[in-house]
């Protein structure tokens, strides 16, 4: 399994991260670099070339999962300067379509990686970043707290196989979006 012609280092890293995500979701952090290599269709040596250790790969995976969610939220921010723009984008990214499945997967993946040195700090920094960005969004601390915790709660339920049905998710979205309205 040599290098695939036309695939650059960034493409290979993306392939490895996507494979690692799937492996950790199915096996947890006990997964090996060999498991990731097989899932990516690469050799273990190729994985090690890009990520020097399992710890380095798990840290990169945690960062990637968090960055991809941030990007999904950013893509949904409305034009203008109305208060609650970030919160509404956060709600949409989490509750539209199959978004709640991604929330559950992200939370359980990060929990699986939590024993990896460095990952808890990355997750704490991300949580602090969300709190700071939401604080600048013009909503009350109560509204921000309810939105962040309700989405995480629905995501955890989904991860445990207790996914809210479509009507519950729509109702949750409506309630959370009402917290972003002016005067809330």
Rounded percentage of the chain residues whose pLDDT exceeds 70: 95
What is the DSSP secondary-structure string of 2-40? -PPTT--HHHHHHHHHHHHHHHHHHH-TT--HHHHHHHH
Phi, psi of 14 (to 5 degrees): -60, -45
- 71-79 mean pLDDT: 96
Show the tokens assigned to 5: 């012609």
List the chain domain ranges.
1-52, 61-178
Q: Rounded to the nearest 10 degrees, how much is the dihedral formed by the CA atoms of 71, 151, 76, 69?
A: 10
Phi, psi of 28 (to 5 degrees): 85, -175
Q: Give the total residue count for the chain.
A: 184
Label residue 53 by pLDDT band (50, 70, 90). Answer: very high
What CATH number has the domain spanning 1-52? Answer: 1.10.10.60
Q: Which residues, in sequence order, are CB contacts of 70 under 8 Å at separation 6+?
A: none
- 100-128 mean pLDDT: 96
CA distances from 20 to 2, 29, 60 (A): 19, 10, 10
Label residue 9 by pLDDT band (50, 70, 90). Answer: confident
Rg over CA atoms, the chain: 18
How far apart are alpha carbons 176 and 87 in whole angstroms? 9
Show the tokens assigned to 172: 């949750």
pLDDT score recorded for residue 1 = 47
Phi, psi of 98 (to 5 degrees): -100, 25
Label residue 183 by pLDDT band (50, 70, 90). Answer: low
pLDDT at residue 3 is higher than 80? no
pLDDT at residue 51 is higher than 50? yes
pLDDT score recorded for residue 8 = 83
pLDDT at residue 5 is higher than 60? no
């Amino acid at each position: 399994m040599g290098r695939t012609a036309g695939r650059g280092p960034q493409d290979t890293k993306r392939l490895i991260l996507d494979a690692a995500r799937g492996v950790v979701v199915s096996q947890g952090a006990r997964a090996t670099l060999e498991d990731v290599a097989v899932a990516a269709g690469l050799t273990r040596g190729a994985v090690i070339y890009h990520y020097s250790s399992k710890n380095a790969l798990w840290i990169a995976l945690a960062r990637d999962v968090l960055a991809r969610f941030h990007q999904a939220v950013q893509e949904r921010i409305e034009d203008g300067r109305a208060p609650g723009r970030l919160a509404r984008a956060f709600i949409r990214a989490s509750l539209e379509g199959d978004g709640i499945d991604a929330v559950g997967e992200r939370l359980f993946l990060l929990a699986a990686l939590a024993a990896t040195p460095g990952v808890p700090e990355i997750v704490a920094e991300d949580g602090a970043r969300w709190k700071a960005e939401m604080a600048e969004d013009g909503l009350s601390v109560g509204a921000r707290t309810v939105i962040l915790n309700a989405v995480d709660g629905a995501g955890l339920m989904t991860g445990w196989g207790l996914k809210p049905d479509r009507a519950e998710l729509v109702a949750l979205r409506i309630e959370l979006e009402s917290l972003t309205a002016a005067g809330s």
